[in-house]
A and B are shown apart, each in its own frame.
Chain A
Amino acid sequence: MNKELPYDRILQECLRGELRVVNAHLPCKQKLLSDLLREEFPHLVCNDGSTHLFKKKELKYLAGLLDSKEQEELPLPLLIEVNPGQDQMAILCRSRSEEKVISRVLNMIVKPRQNKIILHSPHLALLRKHLKTTTQYLFSPDIL
């Protein structure tokens, strides 16, 4: 009587896997832009043990937007926080350098609120177009 339907059980397993997968790609630790620029193959180790490779072109592009002091403050990858059921997403912003990078890439003035820069989908698409490997999605821990 208590036995679940096989299809139901399979779906439950699928869903458990989905929850595991959703934030597994996040880096164990962010690296600074200045450090990444010095590496021959700039990369990071993720929570699931995989490596995330940064493109040198993107790093050079970012370096061109910032001065040397700001390069030492910019942690990469930039984390884009996804909140459930909302059209807007937020970029976690701890220093002025993130704000400057996003302003320059989007070509508009952005103001952080509570250490977050709120972005809408069109802006996000533009940001991801320019910064493919230097940005990463983060599913908000509040919903997990």
Chain B
Amino acid sequence: MDEKVGPGRRGRDLDLIEEHPILDFQHGERVRFFFDGKEFEGFEGEPISMALHANGVRIYRETAEMHRPRGFFCAIGKCSSCFMIVDGVPNVRTCITPLKAGMKVETQHGKGNVPEMDERRRHS
């Protein structure tokens, strides 16, 4: 398992547990993805929110009315706290959505809209 960042890659390492008395972590392939336009690294197939957390990102969205920051909370897809825009799709439960190489992940401000759907409604 390659834990260190290789030459030519981002200089900062991920916040991972390096040694554990009981567990031995098997990670997937380390891939690049984008968070708000910045290039990050994470493990393919693991939830997006875990990759963000390992990169030190804590704020995943901002609420619609009070503009309060929201982040990780339940990690089982039940609480809606970690909703983000992923490849243009809003309200994605990032705690149970697997990371893919090249994915574009964005902080969600407010409720999030689905442009194609608004367009379709207008035409129907």
- Chain A bound to chain B: no
Taking Cβ atoms with an 8 Å cutoff, the residues of A that contact B are: none
Taking Cβ atoms with an 8 Å cutoff, the residues of B that contact A are: none
